[in-house]
Every structure is written in structure tokens, then in C-alpha cells.
Amino acid sequence: MNNETGTLYVVATPIGNLKDIGQRGLDVLGRVSLILAEDTRHAGILLSHYSIATSTRSFHEHNEQDQVNGMIKRLESGQDIALISDAGTPLISDPGYRLVFEAVSHGIPISPIPGPCAITAALSVSGLPTDRFCFEGFLPAKPHGREQRLLELDRETRTLVFYESSHRILDCVEAIGANLGEDRKLSVGREITKRFETFYYGHPQAILEQLNGDPVNQKGEFVVIVSGATFGGDADFAKATHLLGQLIDHMPLKKASEIAAEILDCNRNQLYKAGLAMKKERE
Ligand code: SAM
């Protein structure tokens, strides 16, 4: 009987082009006792391309919880397991968190096999600062939730990174323009590493024009990168709110927010919301 604990390998797989996987990843996938895959049929394309015959088991967000205990036991009995997702790096907007959490808690060795990730691929060609960035995953699907999330990010000075699907790419870019400002610089990566790989660069309006130029441009998978806020930050916002407090006694809130935003280089929508709260307090 094997008394040594097995290793959980978290293996990155291609985000489109099947050639984007390293030798180490292939070796690991070939020698583990089981591959946990988000979609076993999808994994089959990669595995058969590289003639890897290891058995696979479906492991996705709906069955992850049920599978974790069994997988921990398997690892504790000495078997090595690999975790892959449909594309890119597992756990990055993909299943696996509970398994890795439990593996860490049980002291099971975990080893990453790094490789493609849509975030880094898109950032590397964005032309925007990459020294500090903030990955936000998918924006909420509903307009109100999307607006709220963007307003929370309005004063974030790091470069922002979002994932987006073809269904919502137009709404996403529109909402970024409306809530973060039309002066933000964007880089939108579409179908990275795939046949129709395209990158769109420019301010939100310019990106919308490119996406609307042909319905085909809205097809596929997207990463949206947005330049961070450039204004002075919290101190300026505090000054702008103070100014707004004085202006709203003399003019409509909309006008007052515009003036305060212009003078102190702050977000008009956010100031408008602060003004609404102020008015409510004064009632
Ligand atoms: N784990 C993956 C990774 O490492 O990038 C991400 C999985 S997440 C469920 C899928 C989203 O990632 C897509 O909706 C899209 O926003 C982005 N994505 C994945 N592959 C992409 C590609 N080839 N081109 C552009 N975006 C991609």
C-alpha cells in the first residue's frame, strides 16, 4: 500500500490554440491517475490531439461540492490528480476553488502547471499599464448591477480587466463609457489565439463603432481592459462633495454635479449619487 499522499496538479490548458500547452503539462496529464475536467468532451479534444489516454471525470461548478471529499480521499490514498478547465488556468473564473481549499486544509501537496490565461494574454498586448491591475471577472448581467459595480470602480487607479461574452459585449462597453467616462482608454481582445483573433483599441465610443461595424465583430469571447482613473482620488472627491453641498442650494443637482465634477476632475455620476444622499439627509 502506498502511504505517500498524492499531488493535486492544477494544469493550465490552451485558451484557443491547441499548441499553447507546454511539455510539462502534457507529461502530467499523461501520468496522473485521473483528470478532473470541467467538460469531459471538451477535454477530449485536447487529450486526443496529444494521444493522452488518462481517464477523465466531469468536475464543474454544479458537482464540485459533491466531488471534493472523494477526491481528497483519493489524493490521501496516494493517487495524483490533475485539474483542468475548459480553457486557460483553472480557478480563474472557473471551477476548482473548493477542491484547492480542501487540499490546502488537508495538507495535500498542490502543484500548478502554469500556462495560458486570457487575462495575461490580453494585458500583454493592451498598451495599458500592467504594473498594477485589478481583475474583475464578469460584470453583473443586469444593467443596475453593472452600473453599481462600475461606480464602485470609478476611483480605481489600477488598470481594470473584465471578462465578457458575445451577448453582453456591447452593453459592457457602453456601460464603461457611461459610468467610468468616455475618456477612458480601452483595449478589447476578441478570440485571442484563435482563428479570428482581433484587438480593438480606443475610447469607448470608438470601440463601439468597431464592434458595430460588422455583427461578426461581436462574436466570440472577449477580454476588456480599461485604463485606471487618473484624477487625484479620495481627497479630490471629498473636496468635490463639499463643493456640491454648497452648489445644490442654488441650482439643480444635475448641474451642480457637472460643475463639481469638472472643477475637481471627479466622476459626475458618483457625485450625483452623493448629492442625492445629501439631499435626503437634509430633508
Ligand atoms: N480560466 C480562463 C482563463 O484562464 O482565462 C477563463 C475562463 S472564463 C469562464 C471564460 C472567459 O474568459 C470568456 O468569457 C472570456 O471573457 C475569457 N476568455 C477565455 N478565452 C478567451 C479567448 N481566447 N479570447 C478572449 N477571451 C477569452
Averaged confidence pLDDT in the chain: 95
Q: Is 160 inside any structural domain?
A: yes
Residue 1 has pLDDT above 50, yes or no: no
Q: H or E segment at 67?
A: helix 64-76
Q: Is 274 inside any structural domain?
A: yes
102 lies in the same domain as 185: no
pLDDT value of residue 205: 97
Residue 233 has pLDDT above 80, yes or no: no
Assign residue 88 a region (left: φ > 0; alpha: ψ between -120 and 50; beta: otherwise).
left
Average pLDDT for residues 191-215, to the nearest whole number?
Answer: 97
112 lies in the same domain as 208: no
18, 60, 91, 93, best to mutate for ligand 1 pocket (most atoms within 8 Å of CB)? 93
Residue 232 has pLDDT above 70, yes or no: no
Please tell me the distance between residue 198's alpha carbon and the centre of ligand 1 in angstroms.
14
Average pLDDT for residues 150-175, to the nearest whole number?
Answer: 96
Q: Is the CB of 94 under 6 A from ligand 1?
A: yes
SS3 state of residue 37: strand
Please tell me the distance between residue 235's alpha carbon and the centre of ligand 1 in angstroms.
36
The CATH code of the domain that includes 139 is 3.30.950.10
Beta bridge partners of 84: 37
Please tell me the distance between residue 224's alpha carbon and the centre of ligand 1 in angstroms.
11
Closest CA to 247 of 258, 235, 236: 258
pTM of structure: 0.86
Q: Which ligand 1 atom is nearest residue 85's CA?
A: 1
Determine which residue's CA is closest to atom 19 belonging to ligand 1.
118
SS3 state of residue 209: helix
Q: Is the CB of 60 under 6 A from ligand 1?
A: no
Contact between 240 and 233 under an 8 Å Cβ cutoff? The reply is no
Q: Is the CB of 15 under 6 A from ligand 1?
A: yes
| Proportion of the chain above pLDDT 90, given as a percent | 87
pLDDT value of residue 264: 87
Our count of domains for the chain comes to 3
What domain range is 100 assigned to? 8-116
Q: Is 110 inside any structural domain?
A: yes
